[in-house]
Amino acid sequence: MDSKLESECVQDYEGLGWGKSLPVPSVQEIVRNDSRCVPDRYIQEYKNRPVDQSEFYPASFEIPVINFSLLVNGDEDELRKLDAACKEWGFFQVTNHGVAENVLNDMKAAVAAFFELSLDEKKKYAMVENDLEGYGQGYVVSEQQKLDWADLFFLMTLPSTIRKLKLWPVTIPGFKEAVEQFSTEIHKLTKKIFAKLSLLMGMDEDCLKVLHGEMKQAMRMNYYPTCSRPDLVLGVSAHSDASTITLLLQDDEIGGLQIKHKDRWVPVKPIPDAIVVNIGDAAEVWSNGVYKSIEHRAVTNEKKARITVATFVFPGDEAEIGPVESMVDDEHRPSIYRNIKYVDYLRYALERKNGRQSSH
């Protein structure tokens, strides 16, 4: 098996400066070649290994579900549920969100088709040095660090002017159209969520959108192969997101996402056609820590591969993040964050992430 993902057709791209990621073997190919094989590099330290405690979770340990149709039509109960979800969980699922079922299905089919390509074909879209866009595994900074049991394909999707279309596979019929349609619908949903969060933060409906400047969107398409020892590996290691919010399209049948809640890892049960939303670091800063950017991770299973699509929404580079005035009270809730340009925060977050991972 070829252990390197070499770029064959995207070397003319200039990196974003978001950190070098070393090429690593395709986990999908490891499993294809020997479904029982779990190389040492993927076996997590004992303290990080997943433990199945689902039978011990009370019903109250399920993340809130928001009926988005009720929310956008002014239902006060649903608005309070959203506020509580952001404060207490940092995560919620939205149903009746308005993204058509065929748009969701077309996106899932496009991602599945990409990962069904041959390794040689996928390698044409491999990440290049100093750039996290493309196919591979992100944030690999040393030969010693533990690796995630997953392959990913990462694309910047909005604004359309920053798309690297040479990374969009032309050999997959309908791929570009599916991603564009999904991107557009998720952007519409994002603006509606921002409007409600703005109100809850004591601002006008359009304030959070305005604070973003040129809002950006990126998609991480994840392929989690089966694993003969899911108790030893992680599909995605524990992390929080540097985004404002992240919207996740889960597999309808197979769970894998877990979030840290009251010092326990809680599974997020899939709801067909629902979208999981989590608060990111930028939203936590703007809310002065009232809304929480929560650690989360993904686990694997022995029976079936799992595909998910995470859409990250984040501010433009020059946008400033810092507690908004309405969320600061000098006596009762003083500002706990300083103001910083988002691009500088992102550099800091990536350096911290790379530094932490390289020490594993």
pLDDT in tens, 33-44: 999 999 999 999
- Give the span between the Cα atoms of 172 and 344, in whole angstroms: 37
For residue 347, what pLDDT band results from cuts at 50, 70 and 90? confident
List pLDDT tens digits, range 223-234. Answer: 999 999 999 999
* Per-residue model confidence (pLDDT) at position 54: 57
Looking at the DSSP bridge assignments, the partners of residue 247 are: 277, 311
pLDDT exceeds cutoff 60 at 356: no
- Give the span between the Cα atoms of 197 and 291, in whole angstroms: 10
List pLDDT tens digits, range 156-170. Answer: 999 999 999 999 999
* Per-residue model confidence (pLDDT) at position 6: 27
Cα–Cα nearest to 154, from 86, 63, 217: 217
* Averaged pLDDT, 185-202: 98
Are 102 and 86 a contacting pair, CB within 8 Å? no
* Per-residue model confidence (pLDDT) at position 353: 66
For residue 14, what pLDDT band results from cuts at 50, 70 and 90? very low
* Per-residue model confidence (pLDDT) at position 139: 81
List pLDDT tens digits, range 98-144. Answer: 999 999 999 999 999 999 999 999 999 999 877 789 999 888 888 88
- Give the span between the Cα atoms of 82 and 199, in whole angstroms: 11
* Per-residue model confidence (pLDDT) at position 9: 26
Mean pLDDT for all residues in the chain: 90
Task: Classify residue 44 by its DSSP letter.
Answer: P
Task: With 0.95 as the threshold, say if the pTM is over it.
Answer: no
* Ranges of H-type helices in 50-174: 68-72, 76-88, 101-116, 119-123
* Averaged pLDDT, 197-203: 98
pLDDT exceeds cutoff 60 at 55: no
Measure CA 221 to chain center.
9
Q: Which residue has the higher pLDDT, 129 or 314?
A: 314
* Per-residue model confidence (pLDDT) at position 22: 80
Q: Which residue has the higher pLDDT, 197 or 331?
A: 197
pLDDT exceeds cutoff 50 at 357: no
* Per-residue model confidence (pLDDT) at position 2: 32
